[in-house]
Structure 1
Amino acid sequence: MVSESSPLLSRAALPSFLWRSGALLVTTGMIAGAFGAHALQRRPGITADNLHAWRTAADYAVANGLGLLLVSMHPRFSTHRFAGYAILGGSVVFSSSIMALVLWKKMKFLGPITPLGGMIMIAGYAALIF
């Protein structure tokens, strides 16, 4: 770990960045959840499985956003050089790839990317152990 005054710590790793990122993920997840519950189901070709996948993506965005809010408040982990970035990046990759697959079925190449986002999220949380 490094202190906030350390020159090794980039401005983006400050607790305020994690806080804002967490708030943005929660907001995005809530908007996506509302869109999925109301507008998405009226689109042609959207199945129950699509709605379930969309809900999963929205739920993970909210959960990881809340996780980042908590991490940003922790005196030790708010300046961790890996965890916050991994949680944020993994969540964005995971949730957005699922949403893109639901909206644009021709983007099948995103299918293998989704688990990579999940692994990055897990690595971010696992990094908080040490």
Structure 2
Amino acid sequence: MSQQGLLFGAFFGCLAIILGAFGAHLLKKKLNIEQLQSFETGVKYQMYHAIVLLILGFQLNSEIPIDRYIIHAFIIGVFLFSFSIYGLVISSVNNKKLRFLGPITPLGGLFLVAGWALLFYKFVILF
């Protein structure tokens, strides 16, 4: 069992609900359609990976290095991908877009891809 996977899965899931409601109710009036869609993309990816982390948290063993790498890749990926999108969108509301976050989003995406690739590799070596 991976406690980190379970803890971050639950945390990211809870936060995705809060941020989704924040976007739907408070930001909806302040954002244009494109900004709102970007924000929703961050929330969706966060929730998808929260669910994955919860499932993997019960299945993976934190004593095995590849299992730790998978969990860490998903945690870092969600943080960099989704939270950089939130920062970009919210900062653009005040016309003070934090442009330095732009390159962080694809880096987060690469961590998410790495997590999935490592999970695939784990399955290949198991079967």
Q: Which runs of 5+ in 2 are unaligned?
A: 123-127
**Relative to total residues, which structure has the larger helix share, 1 or 2?**
2
Alpha-carbon distance between aligned partners in 1 of 2:44 and 2:61, rounded to the nearest angstrom: 23
Distance 2:61 2:54 in 1: 9
Shift of 1:112: 1.3
Distance 1:108 1:67 in 2: 30
Corresponding residue of 2:82: 95
Q: Say whether residues 1:15 and 2:2 are aligned partners.
A: yes
What is the aligned partner in structure 1 of residue 125 from structure 2? none
Aligned to 1:84: 71
When normalised by structure 1's length, the TM-score is 0.82
Q: Distance in 2 between matches of 1:21 and 1:78?
A: 15
Q: Which residue number corresponds to residue 55 of structure 2? A: 70
Q: Which runs of at least 4 in structure 1 moved beyond 6 Å after TM superposition?
A: none
SS of alignment partner, residue 28 of structure 2: helix
Uncovered stretches (5+) of structure 1, i.e. residues with no partner? 1-13
Tell me how far apart the structure 2 counterparts of residues 52 and 111 of structure 1 sit (CA, whole Å). Answer: 16
After TM superposition, give the deviation of residue 16 of structure 1 in Å.
1.8
2:21 pairs with 34, 51, 61, which one? 34
Does residue 116 (structure 1) correspond to residue 107 (structure 2)? The answer is: yes
Question: What is the alpha-carbon distance in structure 2 between the residues aligned to residue 91 and residue 81 of structure 1?
Answer: 15
Q: CA deviation at 1:50?
A: 0.6
Q: CA RMSD in A?
A: 1.2
CA contact (8 A) 2:28 2:36 kept: yes
Aligned-residue sequence identity (percent) comes to 35
Q: Deviations for 1:1-52, whole angstroms, at most 9, x for unmatched residues?
A: xxxxxxxxxxxxx612210110001111111111111111123xx2110100
Give 1:49's aligned residue. 34
**TM-score normalised by structure 2 residue count:** 0.84
Q: State the AA in 1 paired with 2:84.
A: S
